[in-house]
Structure 1
Amino acid sequence: MALINLRSLGVTLGAPLFSNLNLSVEPGDRLGIVAANGRGKSTLLRAITGAFEPTSGDITRSRGLRVGHVEQDVPASLIDMAFHDAVLAALPADQAESESWRVDIVLDDLDVPEEMRQRPLSKLSGGWQRLALLARVWVTEPDMLLLDEPTNHLDLARIAQLEGWLNALPRDVPVVICSHDRAFLDAVTNRTLFLRPENSQVFSLPYSRARDALDEIDASEARRFEKDMKTAQQLRRQAAKLNNIGINSGSDLLVVKTKQLKERAERLEDAARPAHQERSAGAIRLANRGTHAKVLVTFDDAPVTTPDGTLLFRTGKLWLRQGDRVVLLGRNGTGKTRLVNMVRQAIGAPENARDVVKATPSLVLGYGDQGLSDLRDKDAPLSMLTRRFELGEQRARTLLAGAGLTVEMQGNPIGRLSGGQKARLGMLVLRLTNPNFYLLDEPTNHLDIDGQEALEDELLKHEASCLLVSHDRSFVRAVGNRFWLIEKKRLVEVESPEGFFADVAKNGA
């Protein structure tokens, strides 16, 4: 029996986000919702909870259904509360006073360390804040869970833990998940909704298999559309020929036949629908100016240490060559970011770099970190671009529009942009830098699946040389051709990331 029924549901905000959506959610469903940034995923979740009124259609909920909605951001009213207290505050006052033990059970299930429970949320990472929001919802014992981008800011160990937790939930509790993490969706879902302005598609399959099925449907519709248009053109050409013959011969029969052919062509054209084309949230393009150097970065048993000098690991003797796309693997706290910063300094400020990390002088660095720290919140995209790259205003506006930033956004502070918009702006800055070596720390953060695939394609197409840090398993598998693992205070090369992924999933952090 369905717990939620959506009938002919539609939301229009300026343009249709989705329309005529028919969907049911039943016990045991693990439904993934996939769409580009800004295409209605979060809006649909809010509509299911009743917090948003759809433009058209109906939503029917089972009587007494309790829906738990885990949103993306921590409310301002909770940010200064301790982790434990923020979860406790989700319970009704009388229950919070007499049944506070419920909080400890949920936090134990989520493996939240004791010392973490008394820290204010404002002092915690985005990943721990996300787990606090999940705990707040789960402690209320909902009948159904809605999760909005649950893996944002989580490291691999926490993602694996979340996967295990979701897969261990009682099967009668349905879960609806909006996510851009392809590997996560494959691990935890059994149904997939591709949300579209028209003709949204639902498959009883996890993401990757559903995507293959969707691609087949889109390809079939594209072929059908092309065939119908070709047939309509042939009918019009035949009609034109008969019309000329009819005029010259004065045949009424040919005039009637001409009219029938035109009407058939019009009916075909009216009924034909082009295959769905995803409206891009902004193009992602990279550049590679190239270099004649074969070896780009050399590591001569470099010690990687904490700020106070404690040894984290040694690199051994390694070389990063032209065409290498090296993925740096390791658990949190093992020193990945420290090594990235050492490479960055060796390229950008070689006079201050240690001799144990050397970069060829011809390297031009394209650097992007997960916090997009190169983009200042108070800057406007237009003024930042014209100043940094000495571009004319019209050229800068054209580039920004291509990256998905409207004229209004171009003059507003960068801090007002969404995560996806900032990520695409960061990619545009990388492109204009015209590097021959990329140093990327969590580059897929805030990118939707369309953006992730575009970034993968660009790195491969330009044969970009790069050193990457990423928790996105699909991205790592698609892009990496060498893999360096921090293990037992050594940096070792491994053939594949799969052993590391499996170890993290089994043993956690």
Structure 2
Amino acid sequence: MGSISLRNVSIIATDPLFKNLDFVIADGDRVGLVAGNGRGKTSLLKCMVGLAEPTSGEIVRSRGMKVGLVEQDVPPALLDLTFHEAVLRALTPEQREDEAWRVDVVLDEFQAPEAMRTRTVRALSGGWQRLMLIARVWVSEPDALLLDEPTNHLDLQKMLQLETWINAAARNIPVVIASHDRAFLDAVTNRTLFLRPETSRYFALPYSAAREALDEADIAAEAQQERELKEAARLRKQAAKLTNIGINSGSDLLTKKSKYLRERADKIETSIQSLHKERSGDIRLANSGTHAKVLISLEDVAVITPVGDPLFRIAKLHLFQGDRLVLLGKNGAGKTQLVRLLLRAISEPGSVPGIKVSPSVRLGYTDQAMSQLPAKGSPADYIGRFGVGDQRTKALLAGAGFPIEKQGRPIAELSYGQRARLGLLGLRLEEPNFYLMDEPTNHVDIAGQERLEEEILAHEATSVLVSHDRSFVRAVGTRFLLIKGKRARETEDAEGFFAERAVADEQ
């Protein structure tokens, strides 16, 4: 049995990230840690494991507790090791000598194929690198497990596999998971902590139920604040009235009572905290519109791998204005290849046999790597290319979450979340009427995801989308193209595909 106790824990950077956290995480608690990018999630996890100290307060771990932290990035020293060796190195030299068998047991838990275990970490996909990092921590048999963005780079099947593993293997120890994936949080957590600069909120509920409770608490807090401000205004009005009467009548008693009322109003106003508003930069889209009803037509189109191997064929498909077509299929089915084919057909009209593009199509494109961002230059340089002027550039970047001091930093030094916001801002300035998006919510926090969904729906943006984010797919998709067995066919929704991948994972 073990627990991690937080007692009045605060972390202050330039401004407070959060204050006065006071709760206990015990065996069986699986806590979803939710906050915007750069709002303290990673800092809190590092404090909980003992790699950093909070600004104030204390974190107490049960005596002898071993806390395992799975960080986001692969240490460079592991890149040239094999998968098996990278996990083995997490054991002590004595354990490697006598208990190397534990590595194979853990790799079996994560269903790592035998051939995969001898590959270098550098040669692994991003998803397998992520599972390698988790396996390294798990093989050391921690008493508590902390996971920092564990679903980054995972495809849907590996995500479902990780959900199953957490709910089984890690069900009896304290677990804390920092994640922006709403469906994943719902599947694996039973508690949720919303980190906020002033008053953080902790609920004994998984994410969606906790979010509803949070919204209710925020509405109640807003109503309470409104009542308190009205009361302060009433007291000031009464004080002013008594002051006038006291001056005219020469009554010291009324003057004293007026002072007392003003002090009460001051006390009420001082005690009121600013209400928290979740934001992830000002994510907005545009829709320049078109009179065309059919934007893209596909007829007898072959989708192939980069080396020419056939993947699947599309017999006939029309994309109408307002459609939001989600591409479904397991990794390697050809979703990204279809996106690239559409990108080429739009960028070079007539270059792809079988694909006709309306001349009125104005493309907005983004992919997982944000490849539309230049390799060199700063955010200010990139946005300046759209001809909006220096002042407008500064204002747009500030609205997207880039303060003046960060607008001139090299893009290469930005976090993935910052690059995602910058890429989405550039997408808006393209003023497209057709969006081609491959994993647009990668590295975007929950507030940003919800904002992106709202913008897509509000603008009725015609789109072709690839996403492993189940919440995002459910929110925005209107049509669904399932790629399976070298065929592509439309399906009513994504639920059958999600269920099928879950069954495939169990098998």
Q: TM-score, normalised by structure 1?
A: 0.97
Q: How is 1:355-504 mapped onto 2 (pairs within 5 angstroms)? A: 356-386=354-384, 388-504=385-501
Give CA-to-partner distance per residue, 1:189-225, whole Å, 9 cap, x none.
0011111122211111000000100111111001110
Amino acid in the other structure paired with 1:381: P
Structure 2 distance, partners of 1:247, 1:57, is 51
After superposition, the CA RMSD in angstroms is 1.5
Q: Bigger shift: 469-478 or 340-349?
A: 340-349
Choose which of 486, 499, 506 in structure 1 pairs with 2:503: 506
Structure 2 distance, partners of 1:23, 1:473, is 31
Structure 2 distance, partners of 1:254, 1:9, is 46
Structure 1 distance, partners of 2:227, 2:103, is 61
Q: Which residue of 2 aligns with 1:350?
A: 349
SS at match of 1:69: strand
Which structure 2 segments of 5+ residues have no match? none
Q: Which residue of 2 aligns with 1:149?
A: 149
Cα displacement (A) at 1:170: 5.0
Q: Which residue of 2 aligns with 1:48?
A: 48
Are the structure 2 counterparts of residues 196 and 113 from structure 1 closer, same or farther at C-alpha, using a change threshold of 3 Å?
A: same
Q: Bigger shift: 122-131 or 416-425?
A: 122-131
Structure 1 distance, partners of 2:274, 2:16, is 17
Are the structure 2 counterparts of residues 360 and 260 from structure 1 closer, same or farther at C-alpha, using a change threshold of 3 Å?
A: same
Cα displacement (A) at 1:376: 2.6
Give CA-to-partner distance per residue, 1:355-392, whole Å, 9 cap, x none.
x1111110000000001111133222222222x31332
Cα displacement (A) at 1:270: 2.1
Structure 1 distance, partners of 2:151, 2:467, is 13
Q: Bigger shift: 479-488 or 174-183?
A: 479-488
Cα displacement (A) at 1:2: 5.1
Q: How is 1:97-496 mapped onto 2 (pairs within 5 angstroms)? A: 97-169=97-169, 171-278=171-278, 280-354=279-353, 356-386=354-384, 388-496=385-493
Q: TM-score, normalised by structure 2?
A: 0.97
Amino acid in the other structure paired with 1:59: I
SS at match of 2:169: coil
Cα displacement (A) at 1:453: 0.6
1:400–1:410 contact (8 Å) kept in structure 2: yes
Amino acid in the other structure paired with 2:493: S
Structure 1 distance, partners of 2:232, 2:253, is 21
Structure 2 distance, partners of 1:316, 1:488, is 15
Identity within the alignment, %: 59
SS at match of 1:80: coil
2:121–2:129 contact (8 Å) kept in structure 1: yes
Q: Which residue of 2 aligns with 1:37?
A: 37
2:439–2:468 contact (8 Å) kept in structure 1: yes
Amino acid in the other structure paired with 1:297: I
Structure 1 distance, partners of 2:258, 2:291, is 66
Are the structure 2 counterparts of residues 199 and 84 from structure 1 closer, same or farther at C-alpha, using a change threshold of 3 Å?
A: same
SS at match of 1:389: coil
2:2–2:143 contact (8 Å) kept in structure 1: no
Are the structure 2 counterparts of residues 170 and 416 from structure 1 closer, same or farther at C-alpha, using a change threshold of 3 Å?
A: closer
Which structure 1 segments of 5+ residues have no match? none
Cα displacement (A) at 1:465: 0.6
Give CA-to-partner distance per residue, 1:251-291, whole Å, 9 cap, x none.
4443333233223222222222332223x342111111000
How many residue pairs get aligned? The number is: 506
1:299–1:316 contact (8 Å) kept in structure 2: yes
Amino acid in the other structure paired with 1:376: P
Structure 1 distance, partners of 2:276, 2:406, is 27
SS at match of 1:316: strand
